[in-house]
Structure 1
Amino acid sequence: MPALSNLILLALPFVALGAPPRRHEHIQPRATYKLKDHYTGKDFLEWDFFSAPDPTHGTVNYLSKSEAQAKGLAYVQKDGTTVLAVDNKTTLKPGQNRDSVRISSPKSYSTGLFIADFFAMPHGPSVWPAYWTVGPNWPTGGEVDILEGVGDSTTNQMTLHTSAGCSLDTKLATSFTGSHTSTTNCKSGDGSNDGCGITDAQPHAYGHEFNIIAGGVFAHLVTSSGIKIWRFPRTAIPADITDGKPNPASWGKPAAFFSSGTCNIAEHFKDQVITINTSICGDWAGNAFPGGPSACAAAAADPQNFEHAQWMLNYVSVYES
């Protein structure tokens, strides 16, 4: 009987011949993100304060920086939290607008990873808050609504507004956790400003429900391949975000995904400024209010309806890959 070692040696050529050829696997390295800008505390008071009439026709009076600070509607608490509030003391006379704040970042961004930490957001009758980014010459430069809704809603609506030629790819509905709105055409202007939206109706996504868990983090990633938006409750913020080393590849499905397959992101989204504001009534909140715009105006006159109409910001960070 041949030695066992000889049998093994004889078999080796046949094993080699029968095995499939090894392929050289090209593993795509995950994108890494470097901090570009970090805003916190008093940094927000150095943002641009918008004080022109509200483009969305709200019954709101946006204040300059000096006015907002003098009236106690923009300040930093001792713990470093930035507060942007709506006046909750004045009973309005007919035709009078309520004081509020709208700020935008001093820098603009076309791509990047944006992470915003909010302890609380505005809600209440007639209130229309939004955390969003917007480019020049709206809607040509594009708009991304990351956190937006009206009144005492518990649903967040994430929306794109663009010029013609951009739509939401409904075939990718399983690639995110939210739900399509009724409009898939992102084109805005010319009397139709709905845009294309995805809603997040998961627990604690918006308003009072968001606030009772001390808020959380919204992250959105803008690349040439699309725009993704994630939301993380306070108790489920990924450690890589907390450590300043964000890894979107590990976050699972986003709440919303707008693919470049049906919308050229690089073409439709340029030079976006980060914006935070609270409007009142107006095109959306006014028309959605029970009883319509006149009923909304009546609610807007009562300061008690604005007890919870304030943003409480921890930080906004911008990363680049």
Structure 2
Amino acid sequence: MRTLNHLSLSSFFTFVLSLTRTVSSASIRYTRELSIVGSDFFDQFNWESKNDPTHGRVNYLTLEEAKAKNLAYATEDKFFMLPDSENIVSPGSRGRDSIRISSKQAFDESVIIIDLEHMPHGCGTWPAFWTLSQKGPWPTGGEIDIIEGVHEAEQNLISLHTLPGCTVPATRYQTGETASTNCDTSFNFNQGCGTKVRHPGSYGKDFNALGGGFYALARSKEYGVKVWFWPRVALLAPLDVRFNGEAVNPDFWGPPTAYFPTGANCEYEEHFDAHMLVFDLTFCGDWAGSPSVWPASGCSPMSCNDFVDENPEAFADAYWEINSLRIYTPVSD
């Protein structure tokens, strides 16, 4: 964080305002509405087999197809989603078999906590855990990306994507690094407003090597959108996060990893409504396969699509292993 001597006066006041909003939200508590563990994912999510809207080299499967191919399965306390890592992909097909699911329920003001053991990573991959307006159509109602990256990225990118008229200050109450400030999907090729997680082990193989961790999203009309990350090994996650609390209070969790304040520059009710939760794993596509990203990845001299088609073994570690997903909704003190 820059010192006060290097902050512009306007940036300083913006920072103080965001801090004040954080402190003033201390009355908001949340009680557990839904806990999704193991085979609950089969009942609580819709399995989307449509064409990939981000133009990836992917063939999303129905629930029946995913079960038949053993690319989605559950134990008593874990849920797994995998891509095909055994077969060469036919040039005439949609792409490599994979999974995209969206929750049947949608949530507005809420806290969402994921206990994640393993996330997909590797050349050609573009995994994401995010929330999206159920009503839509996109980008109406907004999008919040909690976990997202490509190839062998080392930092998770947390971001918002909205209709025009939503921006966030560059300096705000968060531990992450501001990557962009305009959330408008029509600006800069839908970059959105993003925050990079500084903590090592927030994404990909480093996250998995540390035994995974916890991500938590809190959203409120009072303060906007906040996201926290805690690695599992450090035991830094609050007790109510680590031990499946009946109720949580994010105001005792310390500064968020990413903070997107709402207000005059981004009115909450104009840009966000009830969101469904989405997991997906696509390959290449608009980001991972773009002409500016794939050649710089160091993955292969062949095209991204050809790499995905011809190297099934490269996707052996590109799977989701989820311990639990919990949703909390606000109660008044």
Letter in 2 for 1:187: D
The CA distance in 1 between the partners of 2:67 and 2:31, in whole Å, is 33
Q: Hey, what does 2:96 align to over in structure 1?
A: 98
Q: Hey, what does 2:161 align to over in structure 1?
A: 161
Equivalent position SS for 2:321: strand
Deviations along 1:2-49, one digit per CA (max 9) or x if unpaired, are xxxxxxxxxxxxxxxxxxxxxxxxx98632211111111111112100
Equivalent position SS for 2:66: helix
Verify: 1:315 aligned to 2:300, yes or no.
no
Picking from 183, 193, 197, the partner of 2:194 is 197
Equivalent position SS for 2:248: coil
The CA distance in 1 between the partners of 2:296 and 2:208, in whole Å, is 27
Letter in 1 for 2:211: A
Q: Hey, what does 2:238 align to over in structure 1?
A: 238
Deviations along 1:51-85, one digit per CA (max 9) or x if unpaired, are 100000000011011011111111103x5210011
The CA distance in 2 between the partners of 1:148 and 1:200, in whole Å, is 11
Equivalent position SS for 1:109: coil
The size of the alignment, in residue pairs, is 291
The CA distance in 2 between the partners of 1:146 and 1:291, in whole Å, is 24
- Quick check: 1:139–1:189 contact (8 Å CA) kept in 2? no
Q: Hey, what does 1:218 align to over in structure 2?
A: 215
Verify: 1:280 aligned to 2:283, yes or no.
yes
Picking from 295, 300, 303, the partner of 2:303 is 295
Q: Output the TM-score relative to the length of structure 1.
A: 0.86
The CA distance in 2 between the partners of 1:67 and 1:82, in whole Å, is 16
Deviations along 1:197-240, one digit per CA (max 9) or x if unpaired, are 11113211100000011111100100012100001111322112
Q: Output the TM-score relative to the length of structure 2.
A: 0.83
Q: Hey, what does 1:249 align to over in structure 2?
A: 251
Q: Hey, what does 1:84 align to over in structure 2?
A: 81
Gaps of 5+ in 1: 1-26
Letter in 2 for 1:184: T
Letter in 2 for 1:186: C
Letter in 1 for 2:116: F
Picking from 258, 264, 269, the partner of 2:260 is 258
Letter in 2 for 1:259: P
- Quick check: 2:25–2:251 contact (8 Å CA) kept in 1? no
Instruction: From the superposition, tell whether residues 252 and 69 of structure 1 become closer, same or farther in structure 2 (CA, over 3 Å).
Output: same
Query: Which structure has the bigger radius of gyration?
Result: 1
The CA distance in 1 between the partners of 2:25 and 2:304, in whole Å, is 53
The CA distance in 2 between the partners of 1:296 and 1:240, in whole Å, is 42
Q: Hey, what does 1:118 align to over in structure 2?
A: 116
Q: RMSD of the TM alignment (CA)?
A: 1.8
Q: Hey, what does 1:22 align to over in structure 2?
A: none
Instruction: From the superposition, tell whether residues 92 and 112 of structure 1 become closer, same or farther in structure 2 (CA, over 3 Å).
Output: same
Instruction: From the superposition, tell whether residues 160 and 271 of structure 1 become closer, same or farther in structure 2 (CA, over 3 Å).
Output: same
Q: What is the Cα deviation at residue 294 of structure 1?
A: 5.9
Letter in 2 for 1:109: F
Equivalent position SS for 1:170: coil
